[in-house]
């Protein structure tokens, strides 16, 4: 207090701020209303996206609802079934400058098989979307299919657990994962999906998120580290097949010798100059010769003596019995007999 009295100039502009207290949440995003931007936008912005042919029937059926939901925000839209594209654009009635980006994300989600009921949630404040491309994370197609199946789980149980914990809607379709929800949830979801593609099971992340969810309820642990509560999973070193290392041959600038053709072989043996009848006779002779050799070997096998079974060495008394222990035992028995006689 004495210091404040000494330096009155310092407190000259230090007045109480009624708008700055603990009850006010400074991080809260206020809703953007038409009153905040009474004038229309200067330039027209538009975005277009293509959609696959199998979505044509569904989009044609739902498009009237899409137009109605975008009209509330002053956004115009168009469905072109000939080109297979959807377009959104700003109008004179558009008052929110960021709503066109939200509308672009909405048509992107509709093109990626997300139902209309979920896609319209993107127009709300605090809701965003994320499209994760997973095909490029795994090279082998069979391995990719197995890892993608892990995200779904048996009967979609794993996917449902991820949706509840992250508070996001997840759509696994083809080579992408489409997600819709709050920003922290999308961040967690991207980490789970990418780690699953890197051969880390999503169950481990689900366990961690469940523990974190319970710890958030305790206000005493607000400013403490949660590392001691979280599970630590060890990596198992799985034995992998060793690749055969091919021995490198010494380098030679000359090409390898050309293999002999069928004609060259026939010329060397003299078969090339024979007639068709003579060739057949030679082939028949060779066949008969092979048969006779095979029969001869079969006959000779009958006279070959079978291998005698090897006799196992019988253990002698000296090998199995310990002589010192035996002597000691006999001596003890002899002493007992002597004691009994004396009695």
List 76's β-bridge partners, or say none.
Answer: 89
Cβ atoms of 111 and 55 within 8 Å: the answer is yes
Give 83's contacts (C-beta < 8 A, 6+ positions apart).
Answer: 50
Instruction: Say whether pLDDT at 186 is over 80.
Output: yes
Distances (CA, A) of 144 to 105, 109, 194, 339: 27, 23, 12, 86
- In this prediction, residue 41 has a pLDDT band, given cuts at 50, 70 and 90, of confident
What does the pLDDT look like over 209-241, one tens digit per residue?
999 999 988 888 888 888 888 888 777 666 777
* Buried/exposed 276-291: b ≥16 CB within 10 Å, e otherwise: eeeeeeeeeeeeeeee
The mean predicted confidence, pLDDT, of the chain is 87
**What backbone torsions phi and psi does residue 237 show, to the nearest 5 degrees?**
-85, 100
Q: In what order do the strands lie in the sheet with 85-90?
A: 46-50, 85-90, 75-80
Give 70's contacts (C-beta < 8 A, 6+ positions apart).
Answer: 76, 77, 88, 103, 106, 123
Separation CA 130–CA 112 (nearest Å): 12
Cβ atoms of 96 and 73 within 8 Å: the answer is yes
* Entry pTM: 0.62
What does the pLDDT look like over 262-288, one tens digit per residue?
889 888 888 888 888 888 888 899 999
């Amino acid at each position: 207090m004495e210091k404040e009295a000494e330096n009155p100039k310092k407190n000259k502009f230090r007045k109480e701020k009624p708008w700055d207290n603990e009850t006010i949440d400074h991080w809260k995003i206020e809703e953007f209303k038409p009153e905040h931007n009474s004038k229309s936008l200067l330039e027209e912005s538009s975005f277009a996206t293509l959609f696959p042919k199998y979505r044509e029937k569904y989009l044609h059926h739902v498009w009237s609802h899409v137009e109605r939901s975008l009209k509330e925000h002053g956004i115009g839209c168009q469905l072109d079934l000939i080109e297979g594209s959807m377009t959104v654009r700003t109008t004179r009635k558009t008052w929110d400058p960021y709503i066109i980006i939200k509308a672009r994300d909405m048509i992107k989600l509709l093109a990626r098989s997300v139902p209309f009921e979920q896609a319209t949630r993107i127009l709300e404040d605090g809701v965003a979307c994320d499209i994760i491309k997973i095909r490029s994370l795994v090279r082998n197609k069979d391995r990719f299919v197995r890892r993608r199946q892990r995200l779904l789980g048996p009967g979609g149980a794993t996917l449902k657990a991820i949706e509840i914990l992250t508070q996001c809607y997840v759509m696994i379709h083809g080579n992408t994962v489409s997600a819709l929800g709050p920003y922290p949830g999308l961040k967690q979801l991207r980490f789970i999906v990418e780690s699953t593609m890197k051969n880390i099971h999503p169950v481990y992340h689900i366990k961690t998120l469940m523990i974190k969810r319970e710890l958030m309820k305790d206000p005493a642990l607000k400013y403490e580290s949660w590392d001691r509560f979280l599970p630590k999973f060890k990596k198992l070193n799985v034995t992998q097949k060793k690749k055969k290392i091919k021995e490198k041959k010494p380098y030679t600038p000359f090409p390898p010798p050309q293999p002999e053709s069928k004609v060259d072989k026939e010329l060397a043996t003299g078969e090339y100059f024979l007639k068709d009848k003579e060739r057949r006779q030679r082939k028949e002779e060779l066949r008969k010769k092979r048969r006779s050799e095979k029969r001869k070997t079969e006959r000779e096998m009958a006279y070959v003596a079978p291998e005698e079974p090897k006799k196992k060495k019988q253990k002698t008394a000296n090998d199995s019995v310990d002589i010192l222990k035996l002597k000691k035992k006999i001596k003890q028995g002899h002493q007992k007999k002597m004691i009994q006689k004396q009695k």
